[in-house]
């Protein structure tokens, strides 16, 4: 049973909110150049190589999850989020539509409550700080207890940067002793919550009584059809599956491979460092990765493939990068068809494209609906068919999923650390959370020439058609 919040904790959270609102009063007078300069300052303070490496290593050491070398490559994410932020206006007039007599003005959203994931506190903190500062918001972070020290140190660096720039440090704050009651109170009193983490966290954010952006669960499912470049697809699958030890919700989870190229593709995966588990090893792996109630075991989440295999009770070569599990069944009872969040990849065989579209639907019903899928193909009809059918917010074509659907320098997706999954995933938005989600807008409307079509035009062929008589109401 969850404990109640103490009076001391309540006073602390409310004091943080008071300081955040006071800091926002100062920030409201900032001009566009000022907030852009602050975005650059906090980005450099954390994304410079020395600091980013130190904080990444701290995060892995503290949580035991992820991979320091893989995590270091996430510097590009901060730079990309900064790039996108600098290219947008966030103060004053941000859009004009003369034909409609509309002018839009940007205003701050308010004090943001940011709930952090255990596996990626660094990038999530900086991404949120960039977007919040860009819009003259303040943000209070609530870290996961298992990555608390990393979050506090990252926020300390951000606060020191703001102090050096002569602006209120309290635009960025972090809860020192996180807990569920404290997080719930924070969400209840702030103006907007951004929740990046597990399903329980997102449900709590939506139940806080305040507006919230949440993210849905991932279970990235990739189609490799008969036209695919097998070497490219296998390499990208390895990149995506092993990034930060498979901790990201965008890491490849399931590969659906066309029958005629299945064997060649599987061999290419082995060349990329994949280890094909035997039927006996598959049983051991399932027992190690899920407990009796079907919950993922934390000591196999975001761990190296050799460690996962060791935990399961079998050995793999020391240079193994990921484990490949052949699968032919889909459903909640077939656990490898769901999200794995580690260096384990399920591989399926399919015979026709209509069949594989059905398989994607079935897998997404197990988990990951609304999040993302991808395809390796040079057949535009296959891309179109998948786009029309799949209940996901983003589809990548011939790209490593983990570094593509959250934005990259080689595609046009907005850079983000939080991926909305639409109503499919229980979220309010089906796009990448970015600057526009951190602001309010005021629409100013002036008169325009009348734009009123005739009834004949509006009703088309139904105009003057037979009218259905209205029946007299039945007696009460």
Kindly list the catalytic residues.
Answer: 249
Closest CA to 26 of 214, 216, 170: 170
Residues pairing with 290 in the sheet? 296
Inter-residue contact 134 to 37 (CB < 8 Å) = no
Of 243, 250, 238, the C-alpha closest to 72 is 243
Are the C-beta atoms of residues 199 and 176 closer than 8 Å to each other? no
Distance from C-alpha of 77 to C-alpha of 197, rounded to nearest angstrom: 18
Smallest CA-to-CA distance from 426 within 253, 221, 251, 195 is with 195
Does residue 441 contact residue 219 with C-beta atoms inside 8 Å?
no
Instruction: Name residues whose C-beta falls within 8 Å of residue 237's C-beta, 6 or more positions apart in sequence.
Output: 222, 252, 255, 269, 272, 345, 400
Residue 273 gets the label, from left (phi > 0), alpha (psi -120 to 50) or beta, of left
Closest CA to 185 of 414, 8, 13: 13
Q: What's the CA gap between 81 and 151, in Å, rounded? A: 19
Beta carbons within 8 Å of 18's beta carbon, 6+ residues apart: none
Burial state string for 268-295 with b = 16 or more CB within 10 A and e = fewer than 16? bbeebbbbbbeeebbebbeebbbeeeee
CB 219 within 8 A of CB 338: yes
Rounded CA-CA distance 95/105 in Å is: 7
Residue 381, both tokens: 């009809």
Helix 180-189 vs helix 7-27: angle between axes, to the nearest 10 degrees?
40
* Burial category of 171 from C-beta neighbours within 10 Å (exposed 0-12, middle 13-18, buried 19 and up): buried
Rg (alpha carbons) of the chain, rounded to whole number? 25
Report angle CA 24, 27, 29 to the nearest 5 degrees. 125
328 vs 471: CA distance, rounded Å: 57
Residue whose entry in the numeric block shows the structure tokens 């966290």: 201
Q: Please report, for residues 107, 367, 445, the alpha-carbon distance to residue 104 in angstroms, rounded to integers and kept in the order given.
A: 10, 39, 9
């Amino acid at each position: 049973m969850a404990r109640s919040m103490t009076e001391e904790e309540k006073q602390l959270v409310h004091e943080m909110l008071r300081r955040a609102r006071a800091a926002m009063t100062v920030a409201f007078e900032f001009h566009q150049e000022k907030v852009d300069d602050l975005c650059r300052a906090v980005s450099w303070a954390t994304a410079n190589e020395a600091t980013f490496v130190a904080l990444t290593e701290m995060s892995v050491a503290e949580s035991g999850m992820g991979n320091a070398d893989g995590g270091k490559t996430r510097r590009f994410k901060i730079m990309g989020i900064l790039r996108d932020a600098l290219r947008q206006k966030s103060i004053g007039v941000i859009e004009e539509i003369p034909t409609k007599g509309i002018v839009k003005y940007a205003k701050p959203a308010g004090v943001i409550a940011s709930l952090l994931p255990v596996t990626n506190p660094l990038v999530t903190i900086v991404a949120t700080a960039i977007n919040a500062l860009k819009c003259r918001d303040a943000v209070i972070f609530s870290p996961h207890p298992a990555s608390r020290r990393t979050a506090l140190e990252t926020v300390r660096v951000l606060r020191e940067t703001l102090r050096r720039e002569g602006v209120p440090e309290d635009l960025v704050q972090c809860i020192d002793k996180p807990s569920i009651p404290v997080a719930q109170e924070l969400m209840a009193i702030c103006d907007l919550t951004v929740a990046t983490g597990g399903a329980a966290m997102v449900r709590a954010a939506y139940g806080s009584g305040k507006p919230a952006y949440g993210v849905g669960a991932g279970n990235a499912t990739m189609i490799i059809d008969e036209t695919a470049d097998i070497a490219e697809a296998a390499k990208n699958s390895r990149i995506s599956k092993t990034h930060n030890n498979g901790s990201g919700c965008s890491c490849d989870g399931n590969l659906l491979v066309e029958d005629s190229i299945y064997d060649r593709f599987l061999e290419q995966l082995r060349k990329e460092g994949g280890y094909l588990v035997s039927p006996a090893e598959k049983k051991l792996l399932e027992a190690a990765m899920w407990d009796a109630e079907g919950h993922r075991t934390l000591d196999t989440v975001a761990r190296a493939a050799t460690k996962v295999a060791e935990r399961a009770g079998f050995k793999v070569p020391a240079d193994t990068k990921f484990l490949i599990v052949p699968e032919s069944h889909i459903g909640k009872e077939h656990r490898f068809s769901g999200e794995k969040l580690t260096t384990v990849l399920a591989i399926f065989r399919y015979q026709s494209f209509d069949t594989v579209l059905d398989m994607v639907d079935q897998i997404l019903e197990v988990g990951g609906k609304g999040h993302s899928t991808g395809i390796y193909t040079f057949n535009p009809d296959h891309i179109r068919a998948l786009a029309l059918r799949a209940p996901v917010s983003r589809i990548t074509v011939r790209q490593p999923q983990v570094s593509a659907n959250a934005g990259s320098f080689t595609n046009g997706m907005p850079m983000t650390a939080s991926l909305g999954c639409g109503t499919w995933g229980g979220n309010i938005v089906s796009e990448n959370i970015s600057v526009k989600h951190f602001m309010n807008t005021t629409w100013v409307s002036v008169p325009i020439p009348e734009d009123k079509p005739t009834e004949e035009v509006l009703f088309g062929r139904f105009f003057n058609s037979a009218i259905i008589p209205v029946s007299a109401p039945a007696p009460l």
